[in-house]
Amino acid sequence: MKKSVFLGTLAASALLAGFASAGTLDDVKARGELICGVNVGLTGFGAPDASGNYQGFDVAICKAVAAAVLGDPAKVKYVPTTGETRFTALSSGEVDMLARNSTWTFSRDNDLKLDFVAVNYYDGQGFMVHKDLGVSSAKELDGATICIQTGTTTELNLADFFKANNISYTPVTVADDSEAQRQYLAGACDSFTTDASGLAAVRATMPDAENHVILPEIISKEPLGPAVRHGDNNWGDVVRWSFYALVAAEEKGITQANIEEVAASTQDPEVKRMLGLEGDLGAMMGLDKDWAKRAIAASGNYGEIFAATIGESTSIGLARGLNALYTQGGLQYAPPFR
């Protein structure tokens, strides 16, 4: 019935549209469901599993936000978005937030009117080469043929890098990762370039992974993060601090398993404020006291999510690198909960 009366709903919503638009937070609460734009399928970061449940590093952010706002990490509707549809889906209001490895750039922030609320993964473009090529640095790739996905920023980065180092290359354009992998393995190109996280996933699934190396150079900055619509600052804050709660939880040693215990016994005033035992941080952004507790309990703290979805114990095997906490030499740093 719900579907068949869509025209009725359409007419009703046309009337309702005249009323003042409430913020996204109120919409989500009223709807009882968070609509999260995710990737159609990206290994480790976001993809449905065999039974159709979305899993992954980016998906965990959606779950944390849903847990913080609605009290249930399962109350998320995942809308798969492609590279072309993602930003329009967000700005037209089809999704409440995007959590699909989108690079935070100046023009996206200003021209497309998006707000990137945080960086949940610091990525960068790298190269993979056949080991027997004997190359140990990307600067030695003069004259190489390089497999590159068309229509992406990686294509532009590649051109910039070779121009800056005054060396030449022949591009072999491919449509997606799997085609790149096939071409590269078939010897159609000497090197394959894409985001380092993607390279690691591709290498992990090669039949002869030991014959391929990922070169040390990272030639671009790709800060990937969740995005919301420009202008709805309250909602942006909710998403931002739901994410930072996960980072702070790792810093403070709060895990999915020990969160109740910590909440009962902690003496750390910041943890107390964050978990709603002291003060009322949640109310400042329109949530209840336990918001952060639920966000952390959804799929664990930042480190746990990383380890479970893309970390070294998984087949993708990404090292923390730049994504380690600032206390461990990385860039993940949550502003104080005060």
**Binding footprint of other proteins on the chain (CB under 8 A):** 1-11, 13-14, 16-17, 21, 27, 39-44, 46-52, 77-82, 84-85, 88-89, 92-94, 176-179, 181-182, 201-202, 204-207, 314-316
Indicate the residue among 248 and 316 with the shorter CB distance to other proteins. 316
- Counted residue by residue, the chain has a size of 338
Shortest separation between residue 13's beta carbon and other proteins, angstroms: 4
The radius of gyration of the chain's CA atoms, rounded to the nearest angstrom, is 22
In the bound state with other proteins, the residue whose beta carbon lies nearer, of 267 and 313, is 313
Taking the least distance from each CB to other proteins, the nearer of 18 and 143 is: 18
Q: How far is CA 91 from CA 97, 172, 221, 238, in A?
A: 9, 34, 25, 18
Q: Which is nearer to other proteins, 42 or 274 (CB)?
A: 42
Contact (Cβ atoms closer than 8 angstroms) between residue 126 and residue 193: yes
CB of 181 to other proteins, least distance (A): 6
DSSP assignment letter at 314:
S
In angstroms, what is the minimal distance from the CB of 172 to other proteins? 16
Measuring CA to CA, which residue among 90, 39, 79, 28 is closest to residue 229? 90
Q: How far is the CB of 119 from other proteins (least distance, A)?
A: 22
Residue 35: in which H helix or E strand, if any? strand 34-39
Decide whether 193 or 332 has the Cβ nearer to other proteins: 193
Both tokens assigned to 276: 């709603």
Tell me the closest approach of the beta carbon of residue 139 to other proteins, in angstroms.
29
Please identify, using beta-carbon distances, which residue of 192 and 241 lies nearer to other proteins: 192
| Shortest distance (Å) from residue 92 CB to other proteins | 4
On the 0-12 / 13-18 / 19+ scale of CB atoms within 10 A, 188 is: middle
In contact, 154 and 131? CB cutoff 8 Å: no
Judge whether 127 and 194 are in contact, CB under 8 Å.
Answer: no
